[in-house]
């Protein structure tokens, strides 16, 4: 009997946005990057510069709330979106965040990890929306994303550079940087970049 061949899972390009506005904000981002770097099925390619932004609440910018530090990570993954979401949610919980009932929507938090794009996956359901429904409007996502991918495209919305030119929320440079020695700009040749056809990404 021939040995059973394991299925080779396709890699998809992934874009993640990180944010923190409570406690040692930079330390929270660094801990998240280290945890993501050791997540099975996920490879990090680049970590962006850090920017500071005011807190967004349901009724707009809250200048009285602590400001956020934000960054973007690009990478590739063999995980399904649901499994990637589960992994990032576990890292958030380890960083002190509790999602779900009792959490203030758009409230202050030690750590926020958003899935911005996973290959060319397009889906909209109560559990997960891809691409992220507000990424095209948020300079605190677009600005650091351009730092690591100047020619980036957000699926369904177009050039990230053009979207950044239209976004009006304030973004300020932050002197600190996320300490992570494994960042690399080049993507794996087998991965599928956001905005390009991905035959494995069909989602109901």
In a domain, 184, yes or no: no
- Mean pLDDT split into 10-residue runs, the chain, 204 residues: 60 96 94 96 97 81 84 97 96 74 63 95 91 95 97 96 95 91 44 42 30
Q: What is the pairing mode between strands 153-154 and 158-159?
A: antiparallel
65 domain residue, yes or no: yes
DSSP annotation of 63 reads T
CA angle 21, 38, 79 (to 5 degrees): 95
Task: Provide the number of structural domains found in the chain.
Answer: 1
- Has residue 203 been placed in a domain? no
CATH number at residue 77: 3.30.70.560
Q: Which domain holds residue 30?
A: 11-178
**What does pTM read for this prediction?**
0.82
DSSP assignment of 158-201 = EEHHHHHHH--S--EE-S-----TT--SPPPTTEE-TTS--TT-
Q: Is residue 196 in some structural domain?
A: no
Query: Which residues are designated catalytic?
Result: 97, 109, 112, 114
């Amino acid at each position: 009997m021939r040995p059973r061949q394991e299925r080779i899972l396709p890699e998809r390009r992934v874009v993640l946005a990180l944010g923190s506005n409570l406690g040692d904000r930079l330390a929270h981002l660094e801990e998240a990057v280290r945890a993501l770097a050791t997540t099975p099925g996920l490879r990090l390619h680049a970590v962006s510069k850090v920017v500071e932004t005011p807190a967004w609440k349901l009724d707009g910018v809250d200048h009285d709330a602590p400001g956020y530090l934000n960054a973007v990570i690009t990478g590739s993954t063999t995980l399904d979106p649901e499994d990637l979401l589960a992994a990032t949610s576990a890292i958030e919980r380890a960083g002190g965040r509790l999602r779900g009932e009792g959490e203030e929507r758009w409230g202050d938090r030690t750590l926020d990890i958003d899935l911005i794009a996973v290959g060319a996956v397009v889906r909209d359901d109560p559990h997960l929306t891809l691409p992220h429904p507000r990424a095209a409007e948020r300079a605190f996502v677009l600005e650091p994303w351009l730092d690591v991918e100047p020619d980036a495209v957000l699926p369904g919305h177009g050039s990230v550079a053009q979207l950044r030119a239209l976004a009006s929320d304030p973004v300020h440079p932050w002197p600190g940087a996320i300490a992570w020695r494994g960042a690399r700009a080049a993507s794996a040749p087998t991965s599928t970049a956001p905005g390009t056809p991905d035959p494995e990404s069909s989602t109901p």
